[in-house]
Copies of this chain bind each other. A is one copy, B any other.
Amino acid sequence: MPTSVEDSSPGQVAAAADAARRAFGATASASDAERALWLEAVADALDAARDDLVAIASRESHLPAARLTGEVARTTGQLRLFAAVVRDGAYLEAVIDRAKPEATPPQPDLRRILRPLGPVAVFSASNFPFAFSVAGGDTASALAVGCPVVVKGHSGHPELSVRTAQIVADALARAGAPEGIFGLVLGREAGQALVQAPAIKAVGFTGSLAGGRALFDLASARPEPIPFYGELGSINPVVITPAAAAARAVELAAGLAASFTLGVGQFCTKPGVVLIPASSGFESALAAEASAHDGGRMLTSRIAEAFPEGVQRLVAEGGASVVLGEAAQETNDGSAKPVVLAVDAARVIERPDVLLEECFGPATLLVRYRDSAERDAVLDAIGGSLTATLHAEPEEDIAALADRLAGRAGRVLFGGWPTGVAVTWSQHHGGPWPATTSALHTSVGATAVRRFQRPVTFQDAPQAVLPAALRDENPLGILRRVDGTLTREAV
């Protein structure tokens, strides 16, 4: 476990992966109750160290202390949710089909369960120093199901990464978790080596499209390819219908302004493209509301540099016009101010490669559509997104439009704003490419554990050999499918 913020050496990466490999037998055979306690021990330790951690995070990420304090609570709540998921037991997906000796051919006794996949590499994100970082959702969901974790800490908050990792490792050790269950490496090359380490069996990643694609390619090209769960860029389209714009332009503008500027626009769910009816006056309403938002210091100087470059590309190459703010703003001090751009739908359909690219920071692009055909053509040009949002009036028939949005996004919102991702049983934080590298999976919510489990079916196994979840008497009392029927009864 590193004690300084220096890049990890190849030997240190190999050692961390090897320690995870050696720990796997013990983490996999630990009981659900034990693993739930490990997660809760980590949550308690992070809560206890909250103020220290927030001070470091605030200095490194430039995010406000209040936001970071809330993020710690979200992170520890997430660890506790996964403890509840494990105790519930349905995540094991136990299925039992009893023998049918009379069938043709005779059918054996078959019992299926999900088992941990193996050691997991987790790449933490810059924009959520707690919730998507060292002790974030990827780490929590992997530990929950019995996978050791090696985190690659983000260069945007290295001191926080080291400090958090120490707290996590200490808490796990005190709770009786096996040695080697948790490790940390730092540095870009260390991350690449980690993805290629033979001991690593899956990768969780939150970050940029370019960085994620490069690591996905490495994971896929291994002699033994492994799943790479990358949450990448997302444009998060919003559609405002003519009726909604007519009924409550100011209210919608206020909501949008708050959402696209939240956290200096550094949310993966930031509304990046907003389809508005042409000649609705929504542009001026948004300009008025957004001008009340200040902007602020961005996460890193590299992100601050890239922001005006992205905005200028939308203007110079895309032909968007500036409704509010400065496209070519100076961000040498690391700060950025809100920018609202606007463009006609026809132009987006011509140049989706430029105008539908994510611009990370406090900017949003209003796209003026003249009719539903233009609106749908723009939506069809947008790649997969984490979210899609619709603002309509109650009397409108929105079924077809809602279906179109559901076809392109992992979460579809009605009347809200996409920033803010509740950690619940039902949450899905994912979506078709390029939002993620795996549309089947989520990095937030109870089902995030599924990424790190693989099925095993036992055929005619003696009771003593079976995992508790598959034994006749159902000692865990969990829901199982027995001979096709869901039940908690004993077999």
Binding site for B on A (CB under 8 A): 28-29, 70, 84, 88, 90, 93, 95-97, 105, 107-108, 110-112, 115, 117, 216-217, 220-221, 224-227, 383, 394, 398-399, 402-403, 406-407, 409-416, 420, 422, 424-428, 430, 432-434, 437-440, 442, 445-447, 450-451, 453-462, 464-465, 479, 481, 483-484, 486
Contact = CB atoms under 8 A, between A and B. Distances in A.
Contact of A425 (B95, B411, B415): B95
A456 B115 CA distance: 25
B432 A454 contact: yes
20 contacts: A29-B403, A96-B426, A97-B427, A105-B422, A108-B413, A110-B422, A110-B427, A111-B426, A112-B428, A112-B447, A220-B220, A410-B457, A411-B457, A412-B456, A413-B460, A425-B483, A425-B484, A427-B457, A430-B454, A442-B455
Given A117-B439, A426-B457, A428-B457, 4 more contacts: A97-B422, A112-B445, A224-B433, A412-B459
A117 B464 CA distance: 40
Nearest to A465: B402
A394 B96 CA distance: 22
B456 A414 contact: no
A67 to B, nearest CB: 11
Given A84-B484, A220-B220, A424-B110, A406 B115 contact: yes
Contact of A465 (B93, B414, B437, B442): B414
Contacts of A458: 406, 411-412, 414
A440 to B, nearest CB: 5
- For this chain, the copies found in one complex come to 2
A422 B486 CA distance: 20
Contact of A225 (B84, B407, B437): B437
B406 A225 contact: no
Contacts of A225: 216, 220, 433, 437
A398 B458 CA distance: 14
A110 B453 contact: no
A88 B227 CA distance: 30
Nearest to A437: B225
B402 A456 contact: no
A486 B90 contact: yes
Contacts of A432: 454
A220 B411 CA distance: 25
A410 B84 contact: no
A145 to B, nearest CB: 12
A403 B451 CA distance: 21
Given A410-B455, A428-B456, A440 B484 contact: no
Given A84-B484, A112-B426, A216-B225, A464 B414 contact: no
A269 to B, nearest CB: 11
What are the 4 A-B residue pairs with the smallest beta carbon separation, nearest first? Answer: A220-B220, A428-B457, A95-B426, A112-B426
Contact of A414 (B394, B438, B461): B461
Contacts of A460: 413-416
A406 B456 contact: yes
| From A95, A115, A227, A422, residue with most partner B Cβ within 10 Å | A422
| From A216, A410, A442, A457, residue with most partner B Cβ within 10 Å | A457
B461 A402 contact: yes
A465 B400 CA distance: 9
B97 A426 contact: yes
A108 B416 contact: yes
A461 B107 contact: no
A413 B410 CA distance: 39
B430 A455 contact: yes
A432 B223 CA distance: 13
A285 B96 CA distance: 35
A33 B404 CA distance: 23
Nearest to A396: B462
Contacts of A464: 399
Contacts of A90: 481, 486
Contacts of A406: 115, 456, 458
Given A97-B425, A97-B426, A412 B461 contact: yes
Contacts of A442: 455
Nearest to A462: B414
Given A427-B112, A433-B225, A105 B486 contact: no
Nearest to A430: B455
A404 to B, nearest CB: 9
Given A96-B426, A461-B414, A409 B456 contact: yes
